[in-house]
Amino acid sequence: MRPVPSNIVKPHYADTGVVKRTDEARVKTPEVIKCMRHAGVMAADILRRAGDIVKPGVTTEEIDIFVHDLTIECGAYPSPLNYHGYPKSVCTSVNEVICHGIPDSRALEEGDIVNLDVTVFVNGVHGDTNATFAVGNISQTDADLIRITEECMWKGIEAVVPGQPINDIGRAIETHAKQHKLGVVRAFIGHGIGENFHTDIQVLHYYDPRHTMVMRPGMTFTIEPMITLGTWQHRMWDDDWTAVTADGSRTAQFEHMVVVTDTGVEVLTAGPGAVSPSAPWKR
């Protein structure tokens, strides 16, 4: 694993890879939300800049080096590094890889699509966001997949309403995906976030009538649908990290980190310069 300077404040798992869950309030204080807003803006900027270097011939390892160095330059720690032993500073998921792809020496090729998942730890909190990028010229089918996946994320975000059940998010996402005959991955979901990388809030991207936790102002979590051209089912590679579609179909993902407000939702990773700054059909 790449070294991190001693002056960078690290999360508790950085040296050992052992993740210890600590008690964390679901409803965050204004001070914590302020820190998360800063972390979110930083993560969004790093993601955008990493996306700018995506092109044929670039390896995912080179993207990892870029994200690692830029995160440290910003005074933050790359959250994925050594989280449960993950060996890199960013997740790079190419084509049929749903999530948690490990950067390596494979060069991206014309027509590929790649998801970059960036998370930073700064001021005691995490900021988490991701987006799917085209590598050179891609097919219309893949371009539509990317567009609709981004729309699915925004449909989910628009469903965040204080006092309403959290399964409204999954209902909105699944409805939009099914309208376009696309699959919604079920095995990997959005999550609570704050001082811990993952907290006990679960955000399903499909509708489950049993999932009725009420959204309350101050709750912070991610919405990150993974949408496929084929089956929603997955299989795991032997590295125990890389998840791919069971039928080899391509898949895309977008993610924002949000906080529930008194009147709706604030997107903490959609500030100026973000990859996905506003709902695409409202531009």
Q: How many domains does the chain have?
A: 1
> Is residue 242 within 8 Å of 226, Cβ to Cβ?
no
- Within a domain: residue 221? yes
Going by C-beta distance under 8 Å and a sequence separation of 6 or more, which residues neighbour residue 210? none
> Is residue 125 within 8 Å of 174, Cβ to Cβ?
no
* Residue 219 pLDDT greater than 80, yes or no: yes
- Within a domain: residue 11? no
> Is residue 271 within 8 Å of 277, Cβ to Cβ?
yes
**Phi–psi pair at 177, nearest 5 degrees:** -65, -45
- Within a domain: residue 25? no
* Residue 283 pLDDT greater than 80, yes or no: no
- Within a domain: residue 13? no
84-100 confidence digits (pLDDT tens): 999 999 999 999 999 99
Which H, E and C letters describe 224-261, residue by residue?
Answer: CCEEECCCCCEEECCCCCCEEECCCCCEEECEEEEEEC
- Within a domain: residue 136? yes
Going by C-beta distance under 8 Å and a sequence separation of 6 or more, which residues neighbour residue 213? 165, 166, 201, 202
The helix (H) or strand (E) run that includes residue 205 is none
* Nearest-10 crossing angle of helices 140-158, 167-179: 150
Q: What pLDDT score was predicted for residue 282?
A: 38
Length in residues, the chain? 283
Separation CA 112–CA 250 (nearest Å)? 10
- Within a domain: residue 18? no
The domain that holds 239 is classified in CATH as 3.90.230.10
159-209 confidence digits (pLDDT tens): 999 999 999 999 999 999 999 999 999 999 999 999 999 999 999 999 999
Separation CA 229–CA 183 (nearest Å)? 6
Separation CA 142–CA 146 (nearest Å)? 6
Separation CA 165–CA 159 (nearest Å)? 10
- CA nearest to 92, candidates 54, 141, 143: 54
- Within a domain: residue 9? no
Domain extent for 261: 30-274
pTM recorded for the entire structure = 0.96
Token pair for residue 225?
């649908």
pLDDT band at 271 (very low <50, low <70, confident <90, very high): confident
Residue type, 27: V
Separation CA 172–CA 264 (nearest Å)? 15
- Within a domain: residue 196? yes
Q: What pLDDT score was predicted for residue 264?
A: 95
